[in-house]
Amino acid sequence: MGILRYISTRSGSGDESTSFSFDDVLLAGLARDGGLYVPVEWPRFGKAEIRALQGLPYTDIALKVIQPFVGDSIPGPDLQAMIADSYASFDHPAVAPLIQSDSNEWVCELFHGPTLAFKDYPLQLVGRLFDYVLKKQGRRVTIIGATSGDTGSAAMEAGRDKDGMEVFFLYPHGRVSNVQRRQMTTLNAANVHAIALDGSFDDCQDMVKALFADHGFRDSQNLSAMNSINWARIVSQIVYYFTSALALGAPDRKIAFSVPSGNFGNVYAGYAARKMGLPIEKFIVGSNANDILTRYFGSGEMSTAEVVPTLSPSMDIQISSNFERLLFDQYGRDGVALAKVMERFRRDGSINFGKSRWRAMGKLFEGFRLGDNATKDVIATVYRDSKILLDPHSAIGVSAGRQAELTPHTALVCMATAHPAKFPDAVEEATGVRPELPAYLAGLFERKERMTRLPNDIDTVRNFIIENSAKREAA
């Protein structure tokens, strides 16, 4: 296979003129035509190649999995060093350890990074990849984003002290948890800025969109994002599907994954692992009350609804952006057709992709929804039966996995996407046990906070960003 190239889910064929390198898609995020980047061709591993990965450490498997997607954009030794550096600070030697929770069921703990949620797994690496490519190109970027909690802290932690970037995250003032806020405001790095906006999370998101839409500002600041549709984030999430399947006997044993989902990024990475040859029987998609995916898998109709706040705020979303990547395959990789469909969805707020596509997706994906009370019940049950403390997001994954029908002997892996101490109130209410922060975060509540509170006014926010990135440029 030649060097891997990328195309947009909304573009035509995939000839060289409309295809991009890994560097291009890393920094661009969304494609110019509004689509998402996908590889022209999937790298594929045969059974023997997968078997050869058994027993290797996380970072070795990561290199094997990620290298084909990067191609010649980054020399192997440099990529290897970045991967090693990304996961060196994680507080478990396995990086993404499996804990057995039932006779044929495991919890994959994806919360051993600096901010205690699975987003550290992609973002620690993506921050380094950004830095590397920016240095190579002699460029600086301003990264802006909106966060309801987890993404902001993980991206700020990933971007801290990187010369090529100035990072600004807006969060709704007074509406994120104390742990989440402190993870953003106590970083003590000059190039990351937490902005407490007077408004809701939607106001923060609208503000970021408006700033991106201001083309003069966008170009002068070199605006960029590390959001959930970023291709490199997806790639780095493929790794733990491989490590956990391998640990349980893949490719010689059937595995199913249950994934608590919001933007469909994490579960799509599992789909990518399957495309690469990892034998995965099924993906179980867990949702909270914001259940657009459950409703789609159940009825074949995808329709948006108002976002309602839940105990699992990182899944409080209206539209699962990465679902478009799955649809691209369902539409026979016809980006022109898909562009029309997505445009209609945006206009009408609902869409039906046709019965045969729905059936095809239903063979591989199954969705379950869990309300807040049921979520607390699961946290209590799992703690009672196996002494494992689950955070609300992870509990939704475990419950969804238990409801799915799998063939006998299939190993079920449930992705635990956040540390229970990140959501201590819900966990304590359900179990009577208040989960403790890991030692390296024990001082979180004593550290000095640094944030700037700003009104929901675009001129004020824009000026704040301009002044602060200019200050550092001059320094």
Task: Write out the DSSP string of 200-256.
Answer: -HHHHHHHHHHHHH-HHHHHHHTEE---TT-HHHHHHHHHHHHHHHHHTTTTSS-EE
Task: Give the residue with the Cβ less far from ligand PLP, 39 or 260.
Answer: 260
The residue within the footprint of ligand PLP, chosen from 260, 270, 367, 420 (CB under 6 A), is 260
Residue 262 is a binding residue for ligand PLP (CB under 6 A):
yes
Interface with ligand PLP in residues 306-345 (CB under 6 A) = 314-315
**Is 282 annotated in the active site?**
no
The residue within the footprint of ligand PLP, chosen from 418, 426, 430, 441 (CB under 6 A), is 418
The tokens of 231 are what?
Answer: 């291709």
Indicate which residue of 64, 119, 363, 422 is catalytic. Answer: 119
Task: Give the residue with the Cβ less far from ligand PLP, 221 or 266.
Answer: 266
| Rg of the chain in Å (alpha carbons) | 21
CB of 423 to ligand PLP, least distance (A): 9
Number of residues that bind ligand PLP (CB under 6 A): 17
Q: Give the binding range for ligand PLP (CB under 6 A) out of 27-35, 66-74, 114-122, 128-136.
A: 114-122
Task: Give the residue with the Cβ less far from ligand PLP, 185 or 314.
Answer: 314
- Positive or negative, the CA dihedral 207, 213, 217, 219 is positive
- Of the CA atoms within 13 Å of residue 351, those in its CB half-sphere come to 18
Integer Cα distance of 133 and 231 in angstroms: 15
CB distance 131 to 140 below 8 Å? no
Dihedral pair phi/psi, residue 32, rounded to 5°:
-60, -30
Dihedral pair phi/psi, residue 355, rounded to 5°:
-65, -40
CB distance 142 to 223 below 8 Å? yes
Residue 301 identity (one-letter amino acid): E
Residue 228 is a binding residue for ligand PLP (CB under 6 A):
yes
Task: Give the residue with the Cβ less far from ligand PLP, 243 or 394.
Answer: 394
Task: Give the residue with the Cβ less far from ligand PLP, 45 or 423.
Answer: 423
Task: Give the residue with the Cβ less far from ligand PLP, 224 or 314.
Answer: 314
Binding mask 147-186 for ligand PLP (x = CB under 6 A): ---x------------------------------------
Residue 194 is a binding residue for ligand PLP (CB under 6 A):
no
The verdict on whether omega for the bond into residue 251 sits within 30 degrees of 0, i.e. cis, is yes
CB of 117 to ligand PLP, least distance (A): 4
Residue 264 is a binding residue for ligand PLP (CB under 6 A):
yes
Residue 288 is a binding residue for ligand PLP (CB under 6 A):
no
The residue within the footprint of ligand PLP, chosen from 128, 181, 393, 402 (CB under 6 A), is 393
CB of 160 to ligand PLP, least distance (A): 19
Residue 195 is a binding residue for ligand PLP (CB under 6 A):
no
Other C-beta atoms within 10 Å of 462: how many? 16
Residue 141's region, left for phi above 0, alpha for psi from -120 to 50, else beta, is: beta
CB distance 457 to 150 below 8 Å? no
User: Residue 61 belongs to what H/E stretch?
Assistant: helix 58-70
CB of 2 to ligand PLP, least distance (A): 30
Residue 122 is a binding residue for ligand PLP (CB under 6 A):
no
Task: Give the residue with the Cβ less far from ligand PLP, 5 or 182.
Answer: 182
Measured over all CA atoms, what is the biggest interatomic distance in the chain, rounded to whole angstroms? 64
Interface with ligand PLP in residues 38-97 (CB under 6 A) = none
Contacts for 102 with CB less than 8 Å, ≥ 6 apart: 385, 386
Active site residues: 119
Positions touching ligand PLP (CB under 6 A) are 117-119, 150, 228, 260-266, 314-315, 393, 417-418
